Amino acid sequence: MKPIRHWQFTRWLPLLVILLAVAVLAGTVLFGRQQLRSSVQAQMIQREGEILRAAVRLLQETGGGLPAPYQGPLSDPGEQLNLILSVSRLKGVMGVRLFNPAGQFLDALPASVTEGSLSVEDLDRLLSLKAVCRFQSAAHLNDYLMALPTSTNQTVADLPLLLVTLPLHEEGQSQLAGIAQFLIEGYGLQYEFQLLDHSLNRQSLVAFGVGALLIVVALAWAFHRLDQRTRHLIRANQELALAARTSAVGAVAAHLIHGLKNPLAGLQSFMNSRSPENGLDEADWQLISASANRMQILINEVIGVMREEQEAPSYELTTAELSELVLGRVQALATQKGVRLVLERVDAATVSNRTANLLTLVLVNLLQNALQATASGKKVTLSLAREGGNLRCQVRDEGTGLPDAIRHQLFTPCRSGKEGGCGIGLAISKQLANHLQAQLEMISTGAHGTLFQLQVPVREP
């Protein structure tokens, strides 16, 4: 069995948390339903007892329907039998048991009702003049009746039964005169329980459905936000790491430029003051001198960018000025290669001078690569188009396209498709784009040319 990888566990973690939360909700709803069901059923059973007790009180006040000369004190067992006999005529009463105040069985109606007993707990409650109600969903009638007709023994052996035990006492007195226990068939109460179950099931399903939906939506949104924040943190860490590496590279570059500036200036001054020597003809000497001048110009440009980043005041350049600056730096190479430079589109926008400096370095590098890849007589196109809050800069050449081996590793240092190249130009351009919070990518490449695109945030002109 293969071990579960960390990324697999992380991938399934949101689903597991959601399922766990829904399971907890289901358990909570089920527990609440059971508690509510038990409470409501107890209230319904107690309600039956209170109704029967009210009927007994009413019969006590009216004399139980007996002639007045026959009415006696309630402490008389005969009077108690007369009273419970009148109550037993109510619908659903199957039989009645009579107990004395000590809880001892005295008599039963009808005669087929078996003797019974009272528990200590029930007797204590009755002595406090409180009714005791018990419901049995499937009671054995053999436990309550001495004999059943043979024809009905199989059909009514088990049935719902409600036992209501009432304290008998005179009105306004707290002394117990006797105890009456009524055996009532519970089909009506059982039907009410079924209706209660249907209602609770429906309400529980609705509560669970709504709660589960809210939990799923809330947790899904929370995990989505968490995933976004995690990605942002990862990206920020990567950018911080890149900034640290760029800072280190910048420090090395600054040290290198500082070390090369003076020797290169001396070499340039020496070559400009001397004529060709050691067999070099005039053309070779001019080429060497031009290369030295070009190196000096590049060093001065880098120094200018570094100085503006640290010391120069902030100002803004339009896209027209930016395009003129960029094309001016590559025009000499285009003339030398015999390639036409075409400014296809320039939309109105402005960038700060610091952004323009870095943007110029990126675009100049892209244009130099495009010019070197394009044959004489063809063209290289620059476009600066406005799209919402971004400036879309595109450089298109008419070369033969990039080799397949380096298409997916364009921005990795030390990989180049040019002879003698080290591939660091695009890598530096990518880092400069990241510093500008811009996006540099290759859109297409093939036999008809290559298209690079840089999107950088800009402001209204």
Mean pLDDT by 10 residues, the chain (461 residues): 52 86 93 93 89 81 52 67 74 86 88 88 90 89 71 60 89 84 89 93 93 92 88 80 60 58 64 61 65 64 58 77 91 91 89 85 90 92 90 92 77 58 69 85 89 86 57
Residue 401: what pLDDT? 87
Q: Could you count the other beta carbons within 10 Å of the beta carbon of residue 344? A: 12
Long-range contacts at 191-196 (CB < 8 A, ≥ 24 apart)? 192/44, 193/41, 193/44, 196/37, 196/40, 196/41, 196/44
Looking at domain 10-142+158-205, its CATH superfamily turns out to be PAS domain (3.30.450.20)
Query: Is 314-457 a domain of CATH 3.40.50.2000?
Result: no
Maximum alpha-carbon separation in the chain = 159
Rg (CA), the chain: 50
Residues 77, 107: contact at Cβ < 8 Å?
Answer: yes
Q: Which of 196, 189, 186 is nearest to 159 (CA)?
A: 186
Q: Which of 209, 223, 205 is nearest to 18 (CA)?
A: 223
Q: Where are the domains of the chain?
A: 10-142+158-205, 314-457
Whether pTM exceeds 0.85: no
CA distance 443 to 455: 12
- Output the DSSP codes for 401-417: ---HHHHTTTTSTT--S
Q: Which of 379, 372, 369 is nearest to 452 (CA)?
A: 369
Q: Which two tokens stand for residue 322?
A: 């930016």
Sign (positive or negative) of CA dihedral 26, 30, 32, 36: positive
- Written as one letter, the residue type at 264 is L
Would you give the end-to-end CA distance of the chain in angstroms?
A: 64
CA distance 260 to 180: 117
Residue 410: what pLDDT? 75
φ, ψ (nearest 5 deg) of residue 419 = -70, 125
Sign (positive or negative) of CA dihedral 305, 303, 297, 452: negative
φ, ψ (nearest 5 deg) of residue 162 = -115, 120
- Total H helices, total E strands in the chain: 9, 12
Q: Could you count the other beta carbons within 10 Å of the beta carbon of residue 5? A: 9
Q: Could you count the other beta carbons within 10 Å of the beta carbon of residue 235? A: 10
The residues, ordered by sequence, that sit 6+ positions from 439 with a Cβ below 8 Å of its Cβ are 433, 453, 454, 455
